[in-house]
Every structure is written in structure tokens, then in C-alpha cells.
């Protein structure tokens, strides 16, 4: 297996797991009406978006411009985790 295939596979697993958590958070919001669950789902959505966008861009650009790819990934992931932390702090 090449590194690219392993990268794509691990990213796809992360995306599926992240979207599962988004779905669970949305379902919890529907059941409880707690705003923290919306923040939680937004946080996981941003983290998933960062991973997916980075993987797609990496393959489209033949892994050129890795600094920008990493910056986009870490930026979206950081903002995503900030929303996750906010959901934990504001949970009542």
C-alpha cells in the first residue's frame, strides 16, 4: 500500500466517525433542545470539513502546496475543537 492510500483510508474513517458524531449531536439537540449540542455538531462538522477538504485538495493538486493544506486543516480543526470545548463549557 502506498502512503496516499493509507492517508485516504484514514481520512475517510475520520470523516465517517466525525459525521456519526455530528448526527448523534443533532439527534441529542432534537431530543433535549440544548444549544450545546448544536455547538458540538458544528465543532465536529468543522473538523470533518478540514480533513475532507485537505484530502481532496491534496489529491487534486498532487500533494503540492502542503503548507497551505496543513494550514487549512489545522485551522478548521482548531476552530472545530473550540466549538467542541465551548459546548462542554456551556452545557447546563
Range of the domain at 35: 1-90
pLDDT of residue 11: 96
Number of domains forming the structure of the chain: 1
Residue pair 57/69 in contact by the 8 Å Cβ criterion: yes
State the DSSP string of 28-87: HHHHH--HHHHHHHHHHHHHHHHHHHHHHHHHHTTT--HHHHHHHHHHHHHHHHHHHHHH
Could you read off the pLDDT of 17-75 as tens digits, one per residue? 999 999 999 999 999 999 999 999 999 999 999 999 999 999 999 989 889 999 999 99
Closest CA to 43 of 69, 62, 24, 57: 24
Amino acid at each position: 500500500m502506498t502512503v496516499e492510500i493509507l492517508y485516504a483510508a484514514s481520512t475517510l474513517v475520520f470523516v465517517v466517525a466525525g459525521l456519526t458524531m455530528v448526527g448523534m449531536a443533532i439527534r441529542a439537540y432534537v431530543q433535549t433542545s440544548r444549544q450545546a449540542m448544536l455547538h458540538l455538531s458544528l465543532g465536529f462538522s468543522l473538523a470533518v470539513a478540514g480533513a475532507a477538504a485537505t484530502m481532496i485538495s491534496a489529491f487534486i493538486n498532487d500533494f503540492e502546496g502542503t503548507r497551505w493544506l496543513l494550514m487549512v486543516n489545522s485551522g478548521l480543526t482548531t476552530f472545530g475543537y473550540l466549538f467542541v470545548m465551548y459546548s462542554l463549557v456551556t452545557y447546563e
